[in-house]
Chains A and B, each alone.
Chain A
Amino acid sequence: MTNKISLMERIALLEQTQQGQMIPAEEVWKLLDSVKEMFGEKTDGVHGHSSELYRELGELAKFINSAKKELQEVKASNIADEHLPNATNHLDAIVQMTEQATGRIMDECDQIGNFHNDVKERLLSADPAIDPNILMGVDDALNQAQTSVTHIFEACNFQDITVQRVQKVVKALQEIERQVLRMVVVFGLVENQSKLDEATRQELTEDVALLQGPQLAGQGLEQDDIDAILAKLL
């Protein structure tokens, strides 16, 4: 699944889906100001407590500022807007290429199967008739070749497994992208955030259930384990 929307649109989407869970940096500053103001009014004469609080607030403000600067230096918005979507696009290209290549392999296998049938028919209808012993030998050889073709088809399983593994990686990348976008929004690293239309929002949220990839070797159950469970349950 490729994200073909801008950073601004994705930020808007994130803000909509995360509404109420994030506090933009500007809001944090406002909050700090109001706390400062409140304690400034109420703690006149209690200098010890207010100065400790001011120190803590100052530390917090410095931390936010420094985190914001670091994020600007690593160009977090570029990571979210460019690098991660690019990585996802490359993975999508892998899926497409393996799909096309597998399709071609299977097309050729189908052709080989057609050739086998054609050769068999020609041999059987040859005039004068071919020695039955020779015919049997040729038939055996053709059947063996067909078995090999079947094995090629079986091996093409790799494509589906590859796609599912890639989808798992894409899901991880999307989660990283989401977290980076959160930081971009929280620290106010971009402005002029736009709203998303319904179609784009839907495109981004569908197929989530499909992103669970296949088990890795040694994880999950093998066919024998499944058969053992089935033997008990069925």
Chain B
Amino acid sequence: MVDKNMRILVVDDALTMRRIVINLLRQLGFTNMNEADDGTTAWEKLQSETFDLIISDWNMPKMTGIDLLRKVRADAKYGRTPFIMVTAEGKRENVITAVQAGVSNYIVKPFNAATLKEKLVKVVGDF
């Protein structure tokens, strides 16, 4: 079973979206969430702390979600850490690019708690 106390990093430049994702995670029983408003800040947090799951937007200033994903996958510490992309980019080429970069799963906005749970089950196991 999934440890509901796992460390989750939610990355999105939109405060609204961070709040939505964190609230939905809370509703699903997760208790240990942290947030970053762009890829650069996320990367700094990933270096200074340890996270078990990353949920990131694609379009962000400074460092995009796809760049963050590539950085994470190239890193020895996070090479195999589950990474879910949450984005409005629903184009086939975007999905393929994300898969090639090593994304664990992909959620297109707008989404609901059921979709988030389904994806979480796929990447971290049932709960």
Contact yes or no, A164 B111, CB < 8 A? no
Instruction: Provide the A203-234 mask, 1 if CB < 8 A to any CB of B, else 0.
Output: 00011011011110000111101100110011
Q: Which residues of B contact A160 (CB under 8 A)?
A: 14, 16-17, 20, 88, 109-110
Contact yes or no, B91 A161, CB < 8 A? no
How many interface residues does chain B have, given as a range?
Answer: 20 to 34
Say whether chain A's binding surface is mostly helix, strand, loop, or mixed: helix
A117 to B44, CA, bound (A): 35
Q: Does B74 contact A (CB under 8 A)?
A: no
Q: Does B78 contact A (CB under 8 A)?
A: no
Contact yes or no, B88 A214, CB < 8 A? yes
Contact yes or no, A210 B107, CB < 8 A? no
Q: Chain A's nearest CB lies how many Å from the CB of B94?
A: 9
Say whether chain B's binding surface is mostly helix, strand, loop, or mixed: mixed
Q: Does B33 contact A (CB under 8 A)?
A: no
A97 to B16, CA, bound (A): 13
Q: Among B16, B88, B115, find the residue whose CB has the most chain A CB atoms closer than 10 A.
A: B16
Q: Does B61 contact A (CB under 8 A)?
A: yes
Which of B20, B64, B105, B107 makes the CB contact (< 8 A) with A154?
A: B20
A163 to B88, CA, bound (A): 11
Q: Does A150 contact B (CB under 8 A)?
A: yes
A157 to B108, CA, bound (A): 11
Contact yes or no, A233 B99, CB < 8 A? yes
Q: Chain A's nearest CB lies how many Å from the CB of B67?
A: 11
Residues of chain B whose beta carbon lies under 8 Å from any beta carbon of chain A? 13-17, 19-20, 23-24, 27, 59-61, 64, 88-92, 95-96, 99, 104-113, 115
Q: List 29 A-B contacts (CB under 8 A).
A: A103-B15, A106-B19, A106-B23, A150-B24, A153-B24, A153-B27, A154-B111, A154-B112, A156-B19, A157-B17, A157-B20, A159-B16, A160-B16, A160-B20, A161-B109, A164-B88, A209-B59, A214-B88, A214-B109, A215-B91, A220-B91, A221-B90, A221-B95, A226-B106, A229-B95, A233-B99, A234-B99, A234-B104, A234-B105
